[in-house]
C-alpha cells in the first residue's frame, strides 16, 4: 500500500476521524479513506476507533 501513512497518529487525524464518525456513523471502514480523503487504510481507522476513540471505551487503570 504505497502512499499510505504509517506510524503515530496526530491529534488532527484523531479529530478528523471523530468528526467523520459523528457525522456519518461507523462501519464502512474500507470506504472511509476514499470518502474522507484520509491517508491511512480502512483497517487503521477501524482499530483506532475501536481501541482508542469510541466514547464508551473504559480508560481506567487495569487491576488484575
Q: What is the pLDDT of residue 5?
A: 87
The contacts of residue 48 (CB under 8 Å, 6+ apart) are: 9, 14, 17
Q: What is the pLDDT of residue 27?
A: 80
Q: What's the alpha-carbon Rg for the chain, to the nearest Å?
A: 13
What are 33-63's pLDDT values in tens digits? 888 888 889 899 999 999 999 988 877 777 7
What is the set of domains in the chain, with CATH numbers? Answer: 11-53 (1.10.10)
pTM equals: 0.78
As given in the structure block, the three cell numbers for residue 20 are 467523520
* Cα angle 18, 51, 59; round to 5: 95
What are 13-32's pLDDT values in tens digits? 999 999 989 988 888 888 88
CA distances from 5 to 34, 56, 62 (A): 14, 27, 31
Q: What is the pLDDT of residue 1?
A: 60
Amino acid at each position: 500500500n504505497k502512499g499510505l501513512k504509517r506510524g503515530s497518529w496526530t491529534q488532527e487525524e484523531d479529530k478528523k476521524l471523530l468528526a467523520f464518525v459523528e457525522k456519518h456513523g461507523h462501519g464502512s471502514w474500507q470506504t472511509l479513506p476514499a470518502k474522507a480523503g484520509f491517508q491511512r487504510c480502512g483497517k487503521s481507522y477501524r482499530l483506532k476507533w475501536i481501541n482508542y476513540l469510541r466514547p464508551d471505551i473504559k480508560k481506567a487503570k487495569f487491576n488484575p
